[in-house]
């Protein structure tokens, strides 16, 4: 899921493991641990597109990494606190700046989402991130500038638990989305995707964050503080069960629609649309086409509509060898849910249909996750994400407006 959600989940893990012993430091270290797996995105700065995309949600999102990394991180943290270096002004200034930069990167990323999708600024997104920023600045000022830091005497194994739970829960939560998480690396590159929750879902994140923010204001030994941290965690767990139940209902509705329309199909996939769990997409695969539709729980009556028929055009890639690196990557990354459009000589647009369309109907070229498959200067087939194809602000704005109307039951 998005970075802010992983920060919240990691902070909750840190608080529940060590909050009573070291207070808000437990939340901060848990938040850091919850973010570490996503550092794999920086691989894209040092590798080609295929390697960078494949590495994200790869080994650093694996169970093995969650088991091994905490021991080294705990040793570094425990050794760090065994000295008085963390009480020096230089250290406090450095970490104040570190957390501020960390927050700004996450906040900018979250607030860019509505701008990219709608072409406009969203106060609904900005307000909670601003409130979180104000709280963070206040805490940093009080804890790092206005008073001396309290001593930290936390056993080594407790640090191991802080980092284990904050890192382990990160890929576990990512498995509930439709991007795919390689939790079995390096033994297998299978992408686990349960498709029950959107990669950004405010109804999961905001209540969870509010429980933690209130808890952070209370003294570390407060029973209410501990209860609020657990309340936030139980909210997150309960919400995932809620989304899992929604998926079963949507899958049943899709099977009913398939039977009513007499479609011959090999498989189908369902997943929630962005920012909510009320409107879901369904992609049904047949021999030569995909049937794409939306199901809304607040529709009157709920049904799979409208239906877009999307030609596969897989034959356009028949001349590319099956063992070609770029072709194998596209089949693996999309889980085989893709269609192909010609874009010129030796250039194709390959659309990952797991992420559906911008809007509920294929009116224009409004695929959410397109790739360019082309021959590079070396004459080899290569892949790039085609972000320009989803950057039309007006189309995005209309699509989000239509989606919101489906969410509230006003088609």
Strand partners, 385: 371
Indicate whether 230 and 339 sit together in one domain: no
Residue 301, pLDDT > 80, answer: yes
Is the bond into 142 cis (omega within 30 degrees of 0)?
A: no
pLDDT for the residue numbered 147: 67
Residue 280, pLDDT > 90, answer: yes
Domain assignment of residue 339, given as a range: 263-407
Indicate whether 224 and 278 sit together in one domain: no
Task: State pLDDT tens for residues 314-338.
Answer: 999 999 999 999 999 999 999 999 9
pTM of the model: 0.90
Indicate whether 75 and 212 sit together in one domain: yes
Residue 381, pLDDT > 60, answer: yes
Q: Which two tokens stand for residue 321?
A: 């060898």
When the pLDDT of each residue in the chain is averaged and rounded to a whole number, the result is: 91
Please indicate, yes or no, if residue 256 is contained in any of the structural domains: no
CA distance 117 to 405: 16
- Give, as one character, the DSSP assignment of residue 316: G
Residues 226 and 211 sit within 8 Å (Cβ to Cβ) = no
Residues 55 and 191 sit within 8 Å (Cβ to Cβ) = no
Indicate whether 87 and 221 sit together in one domain: yes
Query: Rounded mean pLDDT of 177-185?
Result: 96
Q: Which two tokens stand for residue 395?
A: 């189309």
Q: Which two tokens stand for residue 54?
A: 């494949």
Comparing CA positions, the residue from 109, 255, 76, 247 lying closest to residue 178 is: 247
Please indicate, yes or no, if residue 253 is contained in any of the structural domains: no
pLDDT for the residue numbered 131: 85
CA dihedral 179→8→73→92, nearest 10 degrees, is: 130
The SS3 assignment for 151 reads: coil
Indicate whether 225 and 277 sit together in one domain: no
Please indicate, yes or no, if residue 248 is contained in any of the structural domains: no
- The burial class, CB within 10 Å (0-12 / 13-18 / 19+), for 100 is middle
Indicate whether 331 and 378 sit together in one domain: yes
Please indicate, yes or no, if residue 233 is contained in any of the structural domains: yes
Residues 218 and 190 sit within 8 Å (Cβ to Cβ) = no
Task: State pLDDT tens for residues 130-180.
Answer: 887 887 888 778 777 766 667 788 999 999 999 999 999 999 999 999 999
Indicate whether 97 and 65 sit together in one domain: yes
DSSP E strand stretches across 31-119: none
Residues 324 and 338 sit within 8 Å (Cβ to Cβ) = no
Indicate whether 216 and 268 sit together in one domain: no
> How many Cβ atoms from other residues are within 10 Å of residue 289's Cβ?
17
pLDDT for the residue numbered 362: 82
Indicate whether 24 and 101 sit together in one domain: yes
Give the containing element (helix H, strand E) for 385. strand 381-385
Indicate whether 344 and 393 sit together in one domain: yes
pLDDT for the residue numbered 140: 79
Q: Which two tokens stand for residue 7?
A: 């920060």
Do β-strands 304-311 and 338-342 pair in parallel, antiparallel, or remain unpaired?
Answer: unpaired
CA distance 74 to 167: 12
CA distance 246 to 328: 33
Query: Rounded mean pLDDT of 280-288?
Result: 97
- The burial class, CB within 10 Å (0-12 / 13-18 / 19+), for 306 is exposed
Q: How confident is the model at residue 38 (pLDDT cuts 50, 70, 90)?
A: very high
Query: Rounded mean pLDDT of 21-27?
Result: 92
The SS3 assignment for 261 reads: helix
Query: Rounded mean pLDDT of 266-292?
Result: 96
CA distance 307 to 263: 12
Indicate whether 236 and 271 sit together in one domain: no
The SS3 assignment for 222 reads: coil
Indicate whether 288 and 202 sit together in one domain: no
Please indicate, yes or no, if residue 257 is contained in any of the structural domains: no
Query: Rounded mean pLDDT of 54-66?
Result: 97
Please indicate, yes or no, if residue 350 is contained in any of the structural domains: yes
Please indicate, yes or no, if residue 255 is contained in any of the structural domains: no
Q: What sign does the CA torsion over 271, 274, 275, 280 have?
A: negative
Greater confidence (182 vs 83) lies with: 182
The domain tally of the chain equals 2
Residue 390, pLDDT > 60, answer: no
Please indicate, yes or no, if residue 395 is contained in any of the structural domains: yes
Buried b (16+ CB within 10 A) or exposed e, 16-53: bbbbbebbbbbbbbbbbbbbbbbebeebeeeeebbebb
Greater confidence (364 vs 191) lies with: 191
Query: Rounded mean pLDDT of 329-349?
Result: 95
pLDDT for the residue numbered 118: 65
Residue 300, pLDDT > 80, answer: yes
């Amino acid at each position: 899921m998005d970075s802010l959600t992983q920060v919240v989940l990691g902070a909750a893990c840190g608080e529940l493991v060590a909050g009573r012993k070291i207070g808000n430091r437990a939340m901060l270290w848990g938040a850091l641990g919850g973010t570490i797996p996503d550092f794999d995105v920086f691989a894209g700065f040092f590798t080609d597109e295929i390697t960078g995309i494949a590495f994200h949600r790869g080994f650093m999102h694996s169970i093995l990494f969650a088991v091994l990394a905490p021991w080294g991180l705990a040793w570094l943290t425990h050794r760090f606190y065994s000295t008085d270096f963390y009480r020096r002004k230089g250290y406090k200034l450095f970490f104040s700046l570190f957390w501020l930069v960390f927050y700004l990167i996450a906040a900018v990323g979250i607030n860019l989402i509505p701008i990219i999708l709608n072409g406009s600024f969203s106060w609904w997104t900005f307000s909670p991130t601003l409130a979180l920023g104000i709280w963070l600045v206040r805490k940093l000022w009080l804890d790092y500038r206005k008073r001396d830091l309290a001593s930290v005497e936390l056993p080594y194994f407790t640090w191991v638990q802080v980092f284990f739970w904050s890192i382990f829960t990160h890929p576990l939560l990512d498995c509930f989305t439709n991007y795919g998480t390689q939790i079995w690396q390096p033994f297998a590159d299978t992408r686990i995707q349960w498709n029950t929750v959107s990669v950004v879902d405010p109804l999961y994140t905001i209540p969870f964050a509010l429980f933690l923010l209130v808890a952070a204001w209370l003294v570390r030994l407060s029973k209410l503080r501990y209860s609020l941290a657990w309340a936030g965690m139980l909210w997150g767990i309960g919400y995932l069960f809620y989304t899992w139940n929604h998926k079963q209902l949507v899958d049943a509705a899709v099977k009913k629609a398939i039977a009513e329309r007499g479609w011959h199909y090999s498989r189908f996939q369902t997943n929630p649309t962005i920012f909510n769990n009320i409107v879901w997409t369904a992609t049904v695969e047949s021999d030569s086409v995909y049937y794409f539709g939306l199901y809304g729980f607040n529709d009157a009556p709920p049904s799979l509509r409208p239906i877009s028929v999307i030609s596969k055009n897989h034959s356009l890639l028949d001349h590319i060898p099956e063992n070609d690196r770029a072709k194998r990557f596209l089949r693996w990354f999309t889980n085989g849910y893709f269609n192909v459009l010609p874009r010129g000589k030796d250039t194709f647009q390959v659309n990952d249909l797991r992420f559906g369309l911008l809007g509920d109907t294929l009116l224009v070229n409004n695929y959410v996750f397109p790739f360019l498959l082309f021959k590079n200067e070396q004459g080899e087939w290569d892949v790039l994400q085609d972000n320009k194809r989803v950057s039309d602000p007006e189309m995005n704005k209309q699509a989000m407006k239509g989606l919101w109307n489906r969410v509230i039951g006003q088609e």
